[in-house]
Amino acid sequence: MNASKHHFMSLIKGGSMEIERKFIVDQIPSDLDIFKNSYIEQGYLSIIPEVRIRMLNDKCFLTVKSSGTLSRDEYETEISLNTYNDFKKKLIGESLIKQRHYINIGEYVAELDIYENLKNLKVVEVEFMTVDQAIRFKIPNWFGKEVTYDESFKNKNLFKIIS
């Protein structure tokens, strides 16, 4: 393992476990405007290991993720706008631009992403505390095809379409 990959993987070990299911959405809820939303711009510094930068409204983050589908390790830290802009010059390809809507579904929050530079692709994700919760989750009618295990719907692969 080279030194930079080893460094990134050690960061992941200090992070947390991300457990989420992901679905394509054909029809968005009609009351979407009542839910909180965010503007997100994110780009990739590396695919293996997965290292990305993200601007979420007015905050910037550096994130490192391990491989995986339903669950994987994730390390995220806030960075300054200057650091974000420095990293942005080193991105692989174009940034993803999306509007994220936070929709309450019982005890969970669904994050509906509408990608502005991917022909308005609509994907919804729900994060869970345990794998058991993820498995038992009752899927709402407006969720479409599940793509949790389809690697082509990972953001690290979606950005390749626009680059």
H/E stretch holding 134: helix 131-136
Query: What pLDDT is recorded for position 85?
Result: 97
Using CA of residue 28, residue 33, residue 36, residue 38, what is the dihedral sign?
Answer: positive
Mean pLDDT of 61-65: 95
pLDDT of amino acid 15 = 73
Pick the closest to residue 89 from 45, 48, 55, 50 (CA basis). 45
Q: Which domains does the chain have, with CATH numbers?
A: 3-162 (2.40.320.10)
> Does the bond joining 49 to the residue before it have cis omega, within 30 degrees of 0?
yes
Q: Is the pLDDT of residue 145 over 90?
A: yes
Give the pLDDT score at 152.
Answer: 93
Instruction: Name the active-site residue from 44, 75, 84, 115.
Output: 44
Predicted confidence at residue 26, as pLDDT, reads 84
pTM > 0.85: yes or no: yes
C-alpha angle 76/127/107, rounded to 5°?
130
In this predicted structure, what is the pLDDT of residue 162?
Answer: 81
44 assigned to active site: yes
Query: Would you say residue 14 has pLDDT above 80?
Result: no
- What is the per-residue pLDDT for 2? 47
At residue 1, the pLDDT reads: 42
Q: What is the mean pLDDT of residues 14-32?
A: 89
What is the enclosing helix (H) or strand (E) of 43? strand 37-46
Mean pLDDT of the chain: 90
Condensed to tens digits (0 to 9), the pLDDT of residues 71-111 reads 998 999 999 999 999 999 999 999 999 999 999 999 999 99
CA 153, 51, 81: angle at the middle one, nearest 5? 110
Q: What percent of the chain has pLDDT over 90?
A: 74
Tokens representing 123 are 């994907």
How much is the pLDDT for 13? 55
Q: Is the pLDDT of residue 12 over 60?
A: no
